[in-house]
Structure 1
Amino acid sequence: MKIGLYFGSFNPIHVGHLIIANYIAEYSDLDQIWFVVTPHNPFKKKSSLLDNYQRLEMVYLATKDYTRLKPSDIEFNLPQPNYTVNTLAHLQEKHPEKEFSLIMGEDNLKSFHKWKNYQVILENHHIYVYPRVSDNKVETQFNNHEKIHRVNAPIIQLSSTFIRQAIKDGKNIQPMLPKNVWEYLDKMNFYKKP
């Protein structure tokens, strides 16, 4: 089984995340997409970041009706700070029958050469890249790489940062979130002014 790993803080998960993940599930050779919720780095103070399990709950709510989209808390129990190469090694050890690939935006591909042991990742895993609006150039070594697959997913210009700010400003952003995620956020009073 081929699994695409979509890493993020998902603070909160929004329809843009679902559109991209579902597009890749439908238009690539991946069988499932796992939303890997990245834990709060204990060494960084980030008051706008919700608790790990609250963000995981939102991912669960957003994906529960999609058979090919799954939440993952795999990084919650790994040593912090954690690196993608370690998560991949841990998953491969835990699930030797599965083949893991990375899903990333084009903006992340531009800085991929700075990731810890990026060569090891490329040797052992495929990378599926979705388009993002940005200016910087991708390193030429990644342009025609056999392990890097460009996916012509829709360009989504919606961010969790924008959603958090809009909620704080009292804006109605319901259409930007899965219905049950919106209901959970609203009930819990997340991101509203203190």
Structure 2
Amino acid sequence: MNKIGLYFGTFNPIHVGHLIIANYMVEHSDLDEIWMVVTPHNPFKKKSSLLENHHRFELVYKATESYKNIKPSDIEFKLPQPNYTVYTLAHISEVYPDKEFSLIMGEDNLKSFHKWKNYETILEHHQLYVYPRIAKGEVEHQFKNHPKIHTIDAPIVQISSTMIRTGIKNKKNIKPMLTKEVWEYIDEMNFYKK
């Protein structure tokens, strides 16, 4: 059975930090592929700077095109909003019954995982692959040494999409933080400049 790691994000925009983590996960764990799941507009985030879903998907597509084991996914675009991860996992497992899906998350998300909707159901049916993040707070005791939670010692990447959007707005050179294809699309479309 094919093991797929689902890496969720708004990817606004996708940057080399996302690719470093996704590539590390596929190379240094038992996952066969990583699907970059572009999440639709989140009701908790300020919308003004968020590119439309199809543009963010296009950026992820361009960024991952040359990686055979990293693929873009727009599976959440078709689900009712607001959506919860537990519903996406149920839906994707139904659509692809021949694949085994795991969640990829930063350590910061694991610290608040006990607040996720039906997190027990997620853990019952799926593995979690956690990459390190510099963040305050403690991981809940119940998640330490949990048989379904795997800590992957991926590099800590301190690049954020916010930093990139701010840089573009302030006319800074942020090219090293993006793939060439992503930078060219953003530049050509005049994204994040205002």
TM-score range, shorter-chain basis? Answer: over 0.9
Q: Aligned partners of 2:14 and 2:38: how far apart in 1?
A: 10
Amino acid at match of 1:140: H
After superposition, give the CA deviation of every residue in 1:35-79 in whole Å (9 maximum; x if it has no partner). 000001468651100000000000000000000000000000100
Amino acid at match of 1:25: V
After superposition, give the CA deviation of every residue in 1:106-149 in whole Å (9 maximum; x if it has no partner). 00000000000000000000000000001200001001000000
What residue in structure 2 maps to residue 192 of structure 1?
Answer: 193
What residue in structure 2 maps to residue 118 of structure 1?
Answer: 119
Amino acid at match of 1:147: K
RMSD over aligned Cα, in angstroms? 1.0
Percent of aligned pairs with the same amino acid: 73
What residue in structure 1 maps to residue 63 of structure 2?
Answer: 62
Aligned ranges 1:44-193 → 2 under 5 Å = 46-193=47-194
Note if 1:14 corresponds to 2:33.
no
Q: 1:28, CA displacement in angstroms?
A: 0.2
Q: Aligned partners of 1:12 and 1:187: how far apart in 2?
A: 14
Q: How many residues align?
A: 193
Amino acid at match of 1:94: V
Cα pair distance change 1:44/1:139, threshold 3 Å: closer
Cα pair distance change 1:113/1:42, threshold 3 Å: closer
Q: Aligned partners of 2:78 and 2:9: how far apart in 1?
A: 16
Q: Aligned partners of 1:22 and 1:43: how far apart in 2?
A: 29
TM-score by length of 2: 0.98
Gaps of 5+ in 1: none
Q: Aligned partners of 2:4 and 2:123: how far apart in 1?
A: 16
Q: 1:184, CA displacement in angstroms?
A: 0.3
Gaps of 5+ in 2: none
Amino acid at match of 1:2: K
Deviant stretches of 4+, over 2 Å? 41-45
Q: Aligned partners of 2:46 and 2:125: how far apart in 1?
A: 34
After superposition, give the CA deviation of every residue in 1:77-99 in whole Å (9 maximum; x if it has no partner). 10000000000000011001000
Amino acid at match of 1:40: H
Q: 1:153, CA displacement in angstroms?
A: 0.2
Cα pair distance change 1:107/1:74, threshold 3 Å: same
Match of 2:154, SS?
Answer: coil
